[in-house]
Amino acid sequence: MPDPSLDKTNEELNTAKQVKLENVGAVTRDQLTPEAATSRQGHDVPGHDHAPAADTTPDAHAGHDQGSGDDHDHGPAGTNPYLWPGVSLALLLGGIALDYYDVAFFTGYVRLTWYGVAFLLVGWKVMKAAVLSIPSGNVFNEFLLMSIATLGAFAIGEYPEGVAVMLFYTVGELFQDAAVNRAKRSIRALLEIQATEVTVLRGGQSMVLDPKQVQRGDTIEVKPGEKVALDGTLTKGPASFNTAALTGESAPQTKQTGEVVLAGMINQESLAQVLVTATYQDTKLAKILAMVQDAVGRKAKTQQFITKFAKVYTPIVVALAVLLVLVPYFVVDDYVFRTWLYRALVFLVISCPCALVISIPLGYFGGIGAASKAGILFKGSNFLDVLREIDTVVMDKTGTLTQGVFAVQQVQPTPGVDPAQLLRLVGALETKSTHPIAKAVVQHVGAAAAGVAVENVEEISGHGLRGRVDGRDVLAGNTKLLTKFSVTYPPEVDQVFDSIVVAAIDGKYAGYLTVADAPKDDAQQTVQELRADGITKIVMLSGDKDSITQRVANDLGIDEAHGGLLPEDKARYVQQYLDAGRKLAFVGDGVNDAPVVALADVGIAMGGLGSDATIETADVVIQTDHPSKIATARRIARATHSVVWQNIWLAFIVKGVVLALGAGGLATMWEAVFADVGVALLAILNAVRIQRMKF
191, 295 Cβ separation under 8 angstroms: no
Question: For residues 571 and 692, what is the distance between their CA atoms, to the nearest angstrom?
Answer: 39
Q: Which long-range contacts (CB under 8 A, 24 or more apart) does 101-106 make?
A: none
Whether residue 641 has pLDDT greater than 60: yes
72, 129 Cβ separation under 8 angstroms: yes
**Range ranked top by mean pLDDT from 7-11, 33-37, 238-242, 324-328:** 324-328
Buried b (16+ CB within 10 A) or exposed e, 205-231: eeeeeebeebeeebbbbbeeebbbbbb
375, 629 Cβ separation under 8 angstroms: yes
pTM over 0.85: no
The whole-number pLDDT of residue 72 equals 39
Give the list of residues 6+ apart from residue 412 with CB closer than 8 angstroms, or none. Answer: 511, 512, 513, 514
Share of the chain above pLDDT 70, in %: 78
Whether residue 74 has pLDDT greater than 50: no
φ, ψ of residue 666 to 5 degrees: the values are -95, -5
Instruction: Give the model's confidence band at 486: pLDDT under 50 very low, under 70 low, under 90 confident, else very high.
Output: very high
Residues 99-118 have a mean pLDDT of 93
Peptide bond into 238 cis (omega under 30): yes
Residue 44 or 120, more confident = 120
Instruction: Give the model's confidence band at 291: pLDDT under 50 very low, under 70 low, under 90 confident, else very high.
Output: low
In Å, the largest CA–CA distance within the chain is: 119
Q: Which of 231, 396, 593, 619 does the annotation list as catalytic?
A: 396
Q: Rounded to whole angstroms, what are the CA distances from 695 to 244, 353, 371, 374?
A: 17, 31, 9, 8
pLDDT tens, residue by residue, 22-48: 222 233 323 333 233 333 333 333 333
pLDDT tens, residue by residue, 332-379: 888 999 889 888 888 877 777 766 766 777 788 788 888 888 888 888
pLDDT tens, residue by residue, 51-73: 333 333 333 333 333 333 333 34
Residue 675 or 427, more confident = 427
- Find, among 501, 517, 496, 519, the residue nearest to 406 by Cα: 517
If residue 235 lies in a helix (H) or strand (E), which one and from where to where? Answer: strand 232-236
**Range ranked top by mean pLDDT from 46-55, 180-189, 404-413:** 404-413
- 396 is an active site residue: yes
The whole-number pLDDT of residue 305 equals 61
Residue 406 or 17, more confident = 406
Name the DSSP letter for residue 563: -
Whether residue 19 has pLDDT greater than 70: no
Instruction: Give the model's confidence band at 327: pLDDT under 50 very low, under 70 low, under 90 confident, else very high.
Output: very high
Buried b (16+ CB within 10 A) or exposed e, 74-111: bbbbeeebeebbeebbebbeebeebbeeeeeeeeeeeb
Whether residue 556 has pLDDT greater than 90: yes
Q: Rounded to whole angstroms, what are the CA distances from 109 to 90, 93, 112, 113, 157?
A: 19, 18, 5, 6, 12
Share of the chain above pLDDT 90, in %: 31
